[in-house]
Amino acid sequence: MAKRQLLKTINRVAILNAIKAHGAIARTDIAIYTHLSPATVTSLTAELIRDGLIYEKQAGISRGGRRPILLALNAEGAVVVGIKLAENDATLALTDLNAHIIKQHTIRLDERDPESTSQQLARGVDGLLAKAGARRSRLLGVGVGLAGMIDSQAGICRVSPHNGWREVPFSQLLEDQLDCIVYLDNNVNALTLVEQLYGAGQHVPNFLVITVGHGIGLGIVANGQVVRGANGGAGEFGHTVVDPSGFECTCGNHGCLETFVADAWLVRRAQIRGLDVDSALALTVQAQNGDARAVEVFAQAGEVLGCGMANLVNLFNPALIVISGEGVRAGDLLFGPMKAAMQRHMFAQLAEDLEVCIEPLTDETWARGAAGLVLERIFSLPALD
Ligand SMILES: [Zn+2]
């Protein structure tokens, strides 16, 4: 990006964030908060009003003289679409600039190859806009979150285990279909961005997001930045080895953390104990009804998860850990033993101010996370590389 353009983008983001943080604010106060000249504030806010991102609200309180016009975020002035791309279906959510979901729907994916998937998703986006009565011109961009190793800068899916994709330039494919900008990222990173922008992670420079359910995911925020690693593969917490002589995992290694904690493995371990269950939900019900074998499966999973989390705390020293995912349904069956194991294995000094927050998660939240991929570009500073 040319230096002039970059400077302008940075200043626009600074102004947008000042407005987002204060609700409604006068131009003179924006200049004070952002340290920008009044002339720059005037010209950039005019541009933001034209783009529909902010609007002139009622006049504020006078400090002598004319009452100043307040500027506010035009949350509904523009929309974004977030897509959670799963194995057999995709959940699409249309959100405003505050990541509030306006409309959402789930579509079945009949074909899984990248080309057909992009066509089906494009139809899904058009259908969603029509349902919400939103004009196409208001769509700022589309974010897609999926499991796997994603190069978010290049918009390339390096490896996705669920649909067997390798080296797929999916952002480009979908952009060709939709004729609007498309951002691609690992689904847990997308969720982490939403926590950082709007959720528990706001103003927390160092925090972790752990998802439990179908797989075990990890989003890392260190010094205010999402850590993606050299190839977009950081955060494969589920495939850290817990027992080298354990069961063979879907990744080909043995004894990964997932083989103790992920839904399919909970079921398998329950079946080995002689329980007749075919889903993690059914197992949860059995355990809630007091079946000792079911309780034991969750206790073991919690213990392994808690040890792994203690390792993460000792590595990253986070101020906050958000635990989410479909697996949250197990509640204290899982989190009781998990917390106990964490307490035993964390450095006491690191545990002192650590907050652990457990949030339920649905497909809708995952899709909202994907919307965060677009929103992040609006409210965050561009990467300097
Ligand atoms: Zn594995």
From first to last of the 385 residues of the chain, give the pLDDT tens digit: 567 777 887 888 889 888 988 888 999 999 999 999 999 999 999 999 998 889 998 776 666 677 789 999 888 778 999 999 988 899 999 999 888 999 999 999 999 999 999 999 999 999 999 999 988 888 989 999 998 899 998 999 999 877 889 999 999 999 999 988 999 999 999 999 989 988 899 889 999 999 999 899 999 999 999 999 988 889 999 999 999 999 999 889 999 999 999 999 999 999 999 999 999 999 999 999 999 999 999 999 999 999 999 999 999 999 999 999 989 999 999 999 999 999 999 998 888 889 999 988 878 888 888 999 998 888 776 544 4
What is the structure's pLDDT at 1?
53
Secondary structure class of 173 (helix, strand, coil):
helix
Q: How far away, in angstroms, is 220 Cα from ligand 1 center?
A: 19
Any alpha helices (H) in 244-352, and if so which ranges?
258-261, 263-272, 280-288, 292-316, 332-345, 348-351
- In the chain, where the domains are located: 3-73, 79-194+366-379, 203-358
* Chain-centre distance for alpha carbon 251: 23
Query: What kind of fold does domain 203-358 have according to CATH?
Result: Nucleotidyltransferase; domain 5 (3.30.420)
Q: How far away, in angstroms, is 210 Cα from ligand 1 center?
A: 16
Q: How far away, in angstroms, is 237 Cα from ligand 1 center?
A: 9
**Taking the complete model, does pTM exceed 0.75, yes or no?**
yes
Per-residue exposure over 70-100, b if at least 16 CB sit within 10 Å of its own CB, e if not:
bbbbbbebbbbbbbbbbeeebbbbbbbbebe
- Distance, in Å, from the CA atom of 31 to the CA atom of 48, rounded to the nearest integer, reads 15
Q: Do domains 3-73 and 79-194+366-379 have the same CATH topology?
A: no
Q: How far away, in angstroms, is 364 Cα from ligand 1 center?
A: 27
Q: How far away, in angstroms, is 263 Cα from ligand 1 center?
A: 14
Q: How far away, in angstroms, is 146 Cα from ligand 1 center?
A: 17
Q: How far away, in angstroms, is 234 Cα from ligand 1 center?
A: 14
Within a 10 A sphere around the Cβ of 298, how many other Cβ atoms?
Answer: 28
- Distance, in Å, from the CA atom of 206 to the CA atom of 222, rounded to the nearest integer, reads 5
Q: How far away, in angstroms, is 251 Cα from ligand 1 center?
A: 4
Q: Which residues contact 188 (CB under 8 A, 6 or more apart)?
A: 209, 211, 217, 218, 219, 235
Supply the Cα-derived Rg of the chain in whole angstroms.
23
The second-level CATH assignment, the architecture, of 3-73 is Orthogonal Bundle (1.10)
Q: With respect to CATH, is domain 79-194+366-379 assigned 3.90.1010.10?
A: no
Q: How far away, in angstroms, is 244 Cα from ligand 1 center?
A: 11
